Amino acid sequence: MLSRFLDQPGPIAFAHRGGAAHGPENSWAAFEQAVDLGYRYLETDVQATADGTLIAFHDRTLDRVTDSSGRIADMPYGAVAAARIGGTEPIPLLEDLLGAWPAARFNIDVKDEPAIQPLVRVLRRTVAWDRVCVTSFSSRRLHAFRCCVDRQTCTTLSPVGLAAVRSGAWAGGMSGRLARAGVRCAQIPARVASPAFLGLLRRAGLQIHVWTVNEPALMRQLLDLDVDGIMTDDTVALRDVLTERAQWHGAPTGHRGG
């Protein structure tokens, strides 16, 4: 059975790291503001602590965005939990985010190999398979995740797959192979979103999501190219652009229902 992650009306508006233009990235405050704006889709990242606790956090170390330091995979959760994003915000657990907003869908970027097994365990405990799409900048991590799950879960085309499509190395029959593997979408940086490349991805049967787009003019340009989703830090700007085009499909503010 196919995941229902992408079954809502598009274009999809993704709050990148919760909407990092309006709150500390990947913080509870950022996610909450995005939900209050009506965002149905939240983008985040995952890392795992030394004792296997899965947190919503981008970097492998705490140094850049918190008042602490150290490599997360080498630290117990108790030490990581003491860190504060921007000096004020606790680091959320992915499981808590899934539980807080059961109507929201989460695009999850696996940032390090130690996070793979904890992510699978969280998805099993929360039965959130249809509410997530798993992606990674590592083809190896994506492959490892797919090998660990016993049911089809929405995933993105791997970096190797993107390169193959762009070069023309993949041709007929690719759509069926990707669908059987659970690959439902391609997520690409705005700089490579040319009409030609978008056409190749569509012929592969994939939805196309573009990141990270914070300028309204570029949002409009991409929407004119019929992309299926945009990831942004500036959640207010994207909502306004979609609203002016009658393409905003946000949920009632503060949506929590299943």
Percentage, residues of the chain above pLDDT 90 = 85
pLDDT value at residue 258 = 41
pLDDT value at residue 257 = 44
Say which CATH number the domain at 229 has. Answer: 3.20.20.190
Q: Which residue has the higher pLDDT, 150 or 72?
A: 72
Do 94 and 56 touch, CB atoms closer than 8 A? Answer: yes
Q: How do residues 20-60 score in pLDDT, each as one tens digit?
A: 999 999 999 999 999 999 999 999 999 999 999 999 999 99
Q: Does some domain include residue 255?
A: no
pLDDT value at residue 1 = 45
Q: How do residues 235-252 score in pLDDT, each as one tens digit?
A: 999 999 999 999 999 987
Which tokens in the block code for residue 87?
Answer: 């000096």
Residue 133: beta bridge partners?
107, 154
Q: Does some domain include residue 177?
A: yes
Q: Does some domain include residue 78?
A: no
Q: Does some domain include residue 171?
A: yes
Q: Does some domain include residue 71?
A: no
Residue 191 pLDDT > 80, yes or no?
Answer: yes
Is 22 among the catalytic positions? no
Q: H/E element holding 32?
A: helix 28-37
pLDDT value at residue 176 = 73
pLDDT value at residue 178 = 80
DSSP-derived 3-state class of residue 257? coil
Query: How many structural domains compose the chain?
Result: 1
Residue 8 pLDDT > 70, yes or no?
Answer: yes
Percentage, residues of the chain above pLDDT 70 = 95
Do 251 and 37 touch, CB atoms closer than 8 A? Answer: no
Question: Model confidence at 173, in pLDDT bands (50, 70, 90)?
Answer: low
Q: Does some domain include residue 85?
A: no
Structural domain containing residue 144: 12-61+92-244
Q: Does some domain include residue 81?
A: no
Q: Does some domain include residue 6?
A: no
Residue 170 pLDDT > 80, yes or no?
Answer: no
Q: List the catalytic residue out of 58, 143, 249, 255.
A: 58
Q: How do residues 119-134 score in pLDDT, each as one tens digit?
A: 999 999 999 999 999 9
Q: How far apart are CA 33 and CA 236, in angstroms?
A: 10
Q: How far apart are CA 116 and CA 121, in angstroms?
A: 9
